C-alpha cells in the first residue's frame, strides 16, 4: 500500500518520459554516432563533440548568442520594469495598456519575422525609407550592423511586453502600506524604488530574467525569416547553427551533439544567473 | 497636541465611508477607534495621518489646520496590520532609516544610540543584524513599531497592529503598549475591531458606526455609559445582553414585561413611559446564578459553557436570542437545562427601541458627569 502515491504520478511520468525523456536519450545516443545517409551508423564516441567545439562556425554562433542574450537582458528587463512602473495602477487605462502590451505576445514568431521583413524591405519597407530621410542607407541584407540591431529591436518589441506583464503583476502585489511607510519616512522616489519596489520584486525579476534568458537563447524563427542568418553568418545563432547542422547538413550525429551542448549551455547560464540573483540584494543595505 | 476633526467626509465611488465625522482626540491620550471590520477605521486613520485626502472636512493638529501639510512634513508615525519593514535592510538599518532621511542632521553616534535604545525598549536588540524575513511575526511587528517610534513623533497611528499575531504575542505586545505609551509624549490613535484591546489599553475610546463617531469618551465612561446600542453591544467581552421589554406600572409596582410574560422589576429607573417598548441591556457580569426563582429572574436555556481557569462563560438561548453570562466559579450543568439568573434592575441599561439611544441607566452603574448627557434630567 505504501506504493500507492506512485500510481497517481504514473500518468504524468509516462507523458513526460514519452515527450522529453525518451527523445533526450535518443539524442544522447545519436550524438555518439556518425550517421551518413545511405550507410550504417558507426560509433564515434566523443568525436562529434570535439569537432563541434573546435568548429569556428559554432564558436562564432555561441559568441553571437551570448552577446545577443546579454543585450536582450540588459534592455528588456530595465525597459519592462520601467514601463510596468509607469503603467496606471487602476482605472480604465489599465485594460487598454494590457491589451496593447498583449498584442505582440499573441503573434506567432514567424509572423513577427515576416512583419519585420516587410518593414525592412529595400523597395517598400518603412525603415529604409525612414533612414533615407536622414541620409543613412539602411540595408539589412548587406550591413551586419543593421541586421544586428534590427533583430535586437524586433526581439525587444516582441518580448518586452512579457517582462512588463510579469513586473506589473509583481508591483500590484506589493502592499500599498510599504509606499505609505516610505512616504512617511520622506524617502525620495529613487530610494522608494531601491528599497521598496526592487526588493519586493526580486522573485518576480528572477523569473522574468530566466524566462527571457532561456527564450533568447532559443531564438530561431524570427531571425531565420528576417535575415536567414545573414549577411554572411552575422545573425546565425546557436539554434540556427544546430538546425543547419542536423537538417541542412544531414549530419544527424553532429546535430545531436550540438543540441546537447546547446542544452547544457542554457542550463548552465540559467543556473548561474539564478544563483547570482538569489543572493543579490540580500542584506545589501550598506550603500544608502 | 491633540487632534481635532471637523465634519470629515470620504466616499469611495458611491459608498460613503466617513459621513461627517467630528472628533476631539485629547493630547497624549491613547485613543482607540473601535468598530467592526470594514467600518472605515483604516480610512479615518489614513486621513488623520495625512496619507489620504478627505473629500471634505478639516483635521487640526494642536489647533493648526493640516489640510495642506504633506505627510512628509508632519511629525507622525504609522504602524500597519501588515508588518511593513524594508525587506532588503537589516533590522538595524530599518530602525535607522527614518532618522537618516530626516531634516535634522543626526550624527552617526546619535543614530546608533537611538537605534540601540529603541531596540532595547521593544526587546529586539538581539535581532538587529537580521533581515526582516528572518525574524518572527512578533519581532517583525516590533521592528515596525520601533521604526515608527524612533523619530519620537508627536502623533502615532496604529492600524490593527496586533491583528496578524497569535494570541500569546498579542498579549505580550499589548502590555508593552501600555508600558510604552504611558511614558511617551505621543498622542496615539489606535484602530481595532477588538473591544478587549481597546478596553485594556486606551485612555479614550471612540466608536465608529455608519460613517460617524457616535460616541467618544474616556474609557470607563464608554464602558459604563454606552449612550447608543451599537456601542453597548460592541464594547464588552462577552457583549452586553439586550432583550426587548415593555415598561409598565400598576398596583404591583413598576416592571418590565418580556415577550414570554416574565416580569422584571424596574427598580428606581426613571424617565420611562408606561406601555412603551424598550430594549433592556444588562452585562453578563451582572447576572447572578440563583436557586429561588424570586422577583427579577430569567430562565435562559444553556447551549454550552466555556471555562477559562475558574471563570465560566455561559452561552445561552433566551427568547430566540443568544445571551451570555459570566460566572466566577466553574459551572457544571446539562446542555439544554434552564438556568435561573437573578438580574439587578439597578444595573440595567434601557435603550429606546427606535433610535437605540440610552434612556436610563441603573443607579448601581458608576456615573460620569457629562455636560451633554441625554439622561441628565
| CB contact A288 to B (< 8 Å) | yes
Q: Average per-residue pLDDT in chain B?
A: 87
Strand partners, B77: B156
Residue B175 falls within a domain, yes or no? Answer: yes
pLDDT of residue A117: 85
In a shared domain, residues B213 and B352? no
Which range marks the domain in which residue B262 is found? 233-361
Is the same domain home to B216 and B244? no
- Does residue B104 fall inside a structural domain? yes
Tell whether B246 and B223 lie within a shared domain. no
Whichever domain contains B331, its CATH number is 2.40.50.140
The phi-psi region of residue A31 (left if phi > 0; otherwise alpha if psi is between -120 and 50; otherwise beta) is alpha
User: Are B46 and B99 in a shared domain?
Assistant: yes
Residue B371 lies in a domain: no
Q: Are residues B119 and B103 in the same domain?
A: yes
B149 found inside a domain: yes
Domain assignment present for B276: yes
Specify the pairing of strand B241-250 against strand B253-258.
Answer: antiparallel
Asked whether A223 and A158 are in contact (CB, 8 A), the reply is no
What confidence category does residue B371 fall into, taking pLDDT thresholds of 50, 70 and 90?
A: very low
DSSP reduced 3-state for A251? coil
CA distance B131 to chain A (A): 7
Same domain flag for B206 and B100: yes
B191, B33 Cβ separation under 8 angstroms:
yes
A203 touching B (Cβ < 8 Å): no
B113/B163 same-domain check: yes
Residue B104 has pLDDT above 80, yes or no: no
User: In which order are the strands placed within the sheet that holds B297-298?
Assistant: B287-289, B341-343, B297-298
- Asked if the Cβ–Cβ distance from B86 to A180 is below 8 Å, we say no
For residues A226 and A115, give the distance between their C-alpha atoms in angstroms, rounded to a whole number. 9
∠ CA A227-A230-A235 to the nearest 5 degrees? 85
Please report the ipTM that was assigned to this predicted complex.
0.75
Contact between A199 and B87 using a beta-carbon 8 Å cutoff: yes
Give the pLDDT of residue B92.
Answer: 93
CB pair distance less than 8 Å for A199 and B46: no
Indicate if B245 and B217 belong to the same structural domain: no
Judge whether residue A1 has pLDDT over 60.
Answer: no
Q: Give residue A243's pLDDT band: very low, low, confident or very high (50, 70, 90).
A: confident
What digits encode the pLDDT tens for the residues B118-156? 898 888 989 999 999 899 888 999 899 999 989 889 999
According to DSSP, the residues that pair with B8 across neighbouring strands are: B21
User: In a mutagenesis test of the A interface, which of B53, B83, B88, B99 is the best target, namely the one with the most A β-carbons within 10 Å?
Assistant: B88
Is there a contact between A195 and B102 if contact means CB atoms under 8 Å apart?
Answer: no
Q: Is residue B105's pLDDT more than 80?
A: no
- The CATH number that applies at residue B47 is 3.40.50.300
Cβ contact (<8 Å) for B78 and A181?
yes
- Give the confidence band of A283 by pLDDT, cuts at 50, 70, 90: very low
Same domain for B194 and B255?
A: no
Task: Return the closest-CA partner of residue A102 out of A23, A34, A158, A24.
Answer: A158
Of A183, A199, A285, the CB nearest to B71: A183
B125: its cell numbers = 536588540
Tens-digit pLDDT profile for residues B217-273: 999 999 999 999 999 989 988 889 999 999 988 887 888 888 888 888 888 888 888
Final residue belonging to a domain, choices B198, B228, B258 = B228
Q: Does one domain contain both B178 and B102?
A: yes
Number of domains within chain B: 2
Give dist(CA B79, CA B140) in Å, integer.
11
Which residue in the set B82, B93, B98 is minimally distant from A285, CB to CB?
B93
Does residue B375 lie within any of the structural domains?
no
What confidence tens digit (pLDDT) does each residue in A54-94 have? 888 888 888 999 999 999 999 999 999 999 999 998 888 99
Other Cβ atoms closer than 10 A to B109: 8
Do B264 and B217 belong together in one domain? Answer: no
Q: Measure CB to CB from residue B88 to each of A184, A187, A285 and give the nearest one.
A: A285
- A186 vs B101: CB contact, 8 Å cut-off? yes
Is B368 within the bounds of a domain?
no
Superfamily of domain A25-33+40-279: MetI-like (1.10.3720.10)
Chain B 50-69, residues with CB within 8 Å of chain A CB atoms: 51
pLDDT of residue A250: 67
The answer to whether residue B369 sits within a structural domain is no
Q: Which residues of B are less than 8 Å from A195 in CB distance?
A: 86, 88-89, 97
Grade residue B316 by pLDDT with cuts at 50, 70 and 90.
very high
Q: In the predicted model, is pLDDT for residue A203 greater than 60?
A: yes
What DSSP string runs through A78-96?
HHHHHHHHHS-SSSHHHHH
Whether residues B239 and B219 fall in one domain? no
Amino acid at each position: 500500500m505504501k506504493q500507492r502515491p506512485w500510481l497517481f504520478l504514473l500518468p504524468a511520468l509516462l507523458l513526460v518520459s514519452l515527450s522529453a525523456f525518451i527523445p533526450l536519450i535518443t539524442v544522447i545516443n545519436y550524438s555518439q554516432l556518425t550517421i551518413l545517409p545511405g550507410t550504417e551508423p558507426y560509433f564515434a564516441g566523443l568525436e562529434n563533440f570535439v569537432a563541434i567545439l573546435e568548429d569556428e562556425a559554432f564558436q562564432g554562433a555561441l559568441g553571437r548568442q551570448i552577446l545577443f542574450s546579454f543585450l536582450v537582458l540588459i534592455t528588456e528587463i530595465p525597459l519592462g520594469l520601467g514601463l510596468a512602473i509607469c503603467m496606471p495602477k487602476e482605472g480604465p487605462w489599465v485594460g487598454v495598456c494590457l491589451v496593447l502590451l498583449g498584442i505582440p505576445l499573441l503573434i506567432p514568431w514567424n509572423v513577427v519575422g515576416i512583419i519585420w521583413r516587410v518593414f525592412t524591405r529595400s523597395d517598400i519597407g518603412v525603415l529604409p525609407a525612414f533612414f533615407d530621410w536622414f541620409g543613412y542607407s539602411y540595408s539589412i541584407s548587406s550591413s551586419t550592423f543593421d541586421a544586428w540591431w534590427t533583430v535586437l529591436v524586433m526581439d525587444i518589441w516582441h518580448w518586452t511586453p512579457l517582462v512588463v506583464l510579469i513586473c506589473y503583476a509583481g508591483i500590484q502585489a506589493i502592499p500599498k502600506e510599504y509606499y505609505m511607510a516610505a512616504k512617511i519616512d520622506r524617502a525620495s522616489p529613487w530610494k522608494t524604488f531601491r528599497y521598496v519596489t526592487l526588493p519586493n520584486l526580486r522573485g518576480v525579476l528572477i523569473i522574468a530574467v530566466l524566462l527571457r534568458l532561456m527564450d533568447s537563447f532559443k531564438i530561431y524563427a524570427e531571425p531565420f525569416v528576417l535575415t536567414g542568418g545573414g549577411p554572411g553568418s552575422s545573425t546565425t545563432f546557436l539554434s540556427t547553427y544546430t538546425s543547419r547542422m542536423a537538417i541542412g547538413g544531414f549530419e544527424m550525429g553532429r546535430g545531436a551533439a550540438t543540441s546537447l551542448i546547446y542544452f547544457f549551455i542554457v542550463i548552465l547560464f540559467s543556473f548561474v544567473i539564478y544563483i547570482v540573483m538569489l543572493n543579490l540584494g540580500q542584506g545589501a543595505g550598506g550603500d544608502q | 497636541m491633540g487632534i481635532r476633526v471637523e465634519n470629515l467626509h470620504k466616499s469611495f465611488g458611491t459608498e460613503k465611508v466617513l459621513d461627517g465625522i467630528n472628533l476631539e482626540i485629547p493630547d497624549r491620550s491613547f485613543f482607540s477607534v473601535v468598530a467592526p471590520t470594514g467600518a472605515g477605521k483604516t480610512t479615518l486613520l489614513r486621513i488623520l495621518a495625512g496619507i489620504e485626502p478627505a473629500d471634505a472636512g478639516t483635521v487640526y493638529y494642536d489647533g493648526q489646520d493640516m489640510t495642506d501639510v504633506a505627510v512628509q512634513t508632519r511629525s507622525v508615525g504609522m504602524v500597519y496590520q501588515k508588518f511593513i519593514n524594508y525587506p532588503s535592510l537589516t533590522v538595524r538599518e530599518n530602525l535607522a532609516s527614518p532618522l537618516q532621511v530626516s531634516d535634522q542632521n543626526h550624527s552617526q553616534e546619535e543614530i546608533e544610540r537611538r537605534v540601540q535604545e529603541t531596540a532595547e525598549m521593544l526587546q529586539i536588540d538581539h535581532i538587529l543584524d537580521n533581515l526582516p524575513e528572518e525574524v518572527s511575526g512578533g519581532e517583525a511587528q516590533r521592528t515596525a513599531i520601533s521604526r515608527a517610534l524612533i523619530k519620537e513623533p508627536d502623533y502615532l497611528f496604529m492600524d490593527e497592529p496586533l491583528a496578524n499575531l497569535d494570541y500569546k504575542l498579542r498579549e505580550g505586545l499589548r502590555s508593552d503598549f501600555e508600558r510604552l505609551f504611558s511614558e511617551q509624549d505621543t498622542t496615539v490613535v489606535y484602530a481595532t475591531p477588538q473591544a478587549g484591546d481597546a478596553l485594556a489599553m486606551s485612555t479614550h475610546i471612540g466608536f465608529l458606526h455608519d460613517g460617524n463617531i457616535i460616541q467618544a469618551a474616556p474609557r470607563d465612561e464608554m464602558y459604563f455609559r454606552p449612550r447608543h446600542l451599537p456601542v453597548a453591544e460592541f464594547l464588552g467581552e462577552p457583549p452586553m445582553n439586550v432583550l426587548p421589554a415593555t415598561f409598565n406600572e400598576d398596583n404591583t409596582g413598576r416592571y418590565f414585561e418580556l415577550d414570554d410574560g416574565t416580569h422584571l422589576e424596574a427598580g428606581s429607573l426613571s424617565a420611562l413611559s408606561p406601555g412603551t417598548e424598550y430594549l433592556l441591556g444588562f452585562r453578563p457580569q451582572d447576572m447572578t446564578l440563583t436557586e429561588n426563582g424570586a422577583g427579577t429572574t430569567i430562565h435562559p436555556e444553556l447551549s454550552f459553557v466555556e471555562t477559562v481557569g475558574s471563570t465560566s462563560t455561559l452561552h445561552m438561548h433566551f427568547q430566540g436570542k443568544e445571551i451570555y453570562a459570566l460566572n466566577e466559579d466553574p459551572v457544571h450543568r446539562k446542555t439544554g437545562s434552564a438556568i435561573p439568573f437573578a438580574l439587578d434592575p439597578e444595573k440595567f441599561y434601557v435603550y429606546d427601541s427606535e433610535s437605540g439611544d440610552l434612556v436610563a441607566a441603573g443607579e448601581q452603574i458608576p456615573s460620569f458627569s457629562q455636560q451633554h448627557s441625554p439622561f441628565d434630567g
